Amino acid sequence: MPSGFSPALSVVVPCYNEQEVLPIFHQRLCGVMDGIGMPWEVVYVNDGSRDQTLAGMYALAEQGGRVSIVNLSRNFGKEIALTAGLDHARGTRGVIVIDADLQDPPEVIADLVAAWTDDVDTVYARRNTREGESVPKRLTAWMFYRVMKRLGNKVVIPPDTGDFRLMSRRLVDSLLLLRERHRFMKGLFAWVGFPSRAVLYDRAPRSAGKSSFNYWSLWNFALEGITSFSVLPLQLSTYLGLGISILAVCYGLWIVGCTLLFGNRVAGYHSLMAVILFLGGIQLMTVGLIGEYVGRIFNETKKRPLYLVEAYRPAQEKDHLAVP
pLDDT in tens, 190-234: 888 888 888 888 887 655 555 555 555 666 666 666 666 666 677
**What per-residue confidence (pLDDT) applies to 186?**
80
Q: Indicate if 148 and 217 belong to the same structural domain.
A: yes
Q: Indicate if 265 and 168 belong to the same structural domain.
A: no
Q: Does 57 fall in a domain?
A: yes
Q: Indicate if 114 and 50 belong to the same structural domain.
A: yes
**What per-residue confidence (pLDDT) applies to 239?**
73
Q: Is residue 197 packed enough to be buried (19+ CB in 10 Å), middle (13-18) or exposed (0-12)? A: middle
Query: For the residues of 290-321, what is the DSSP string, one character each?
Result: HHHHHHHHHHHHT---S--EEEEEPPPHHHHH
Q: Does 4 fall in a domain?
A: no
**CATH number of the domain encompassing residue 99:** 3.90.550.10
Query: Helix 215-229 crosses helix 135-151 at what angle (to 10 degrees)?
Result: 10
Q: Indicate if 40 and 110 belong to the same structural domain.
A: yes
Q: Indicate if 142 and 161 belong to the same structural domain.
A: yes
Q: Does 3 fall in a domain?
A: no
Q: Indicate if 134 and 262 belong to the same structural domain.
A: no
**What per-residue confidence (pLDDT) applies to 308?**
92
- The count of domains in the chain is 2
Q: Does 222 fall in a domain?
A: yes
Structural domain that includes position 222 = 9-229+305-321
Q: Indicate if 38 and 173 belong to the same structural domain.
A: yes
**What per-residue confidence (pLDDT) applies to 302?**
80
Q: Does 266 fall in a domain?
A: yes
Q: Does 263 fall in a domain?
A: yes
Backbone φ and ψ of 104, nearest 5°: -100, 105
3-state secondary structure of 118: coil
Helix ranges (H only) for the chain are 22-36, 53-62, 78-88, 108-114, 135-151, 169-175, 185-191, 215-229, 232-262, 269-301, 317-321
Q: Indicate if 225 and 314 belong to the same structural domain.
A: yes
3-state secondary structure of 145: helix
Q: Which residues of the chain have pLDDT under 50?
A: 1-4, 320-324
Q: Does 2 fall in a domain?
A: no
Q: Indicate if 204 and 136 belong to the same structural domain.
A: yes
Q: Indicate if 100 and 180 belong to the same structural domain.
A: yes
The per-residue pLDDT for range 136-171, each reduced to its tens digit, is 666 666 666 666 666 656 677 777 788 888 999 999
Q: Indicate if 152 and 287 belong to the same structural domain.
A: no
Question: What long-range pairs does 277-283 form, CB within 8 A, spacing at least 24?
Answer: 279/244, 282/240, 282/241, 282/244
Q: Does 190 fall in a domain?
A: yes
CA distance 273 to 279: 10
Q: Indicate if 314 and 286 belong to the same structural domain.
A: no
Query: For the residues of 13-63, what is the DSSP string, one character each?
Result: EEESS-TTTHHHHHHHHHHHHHHHTS-EEEEEEE-S-SSSHHHHHHHHHHT
**What per-residue confidence (pLDDT) applies to 166?**
92
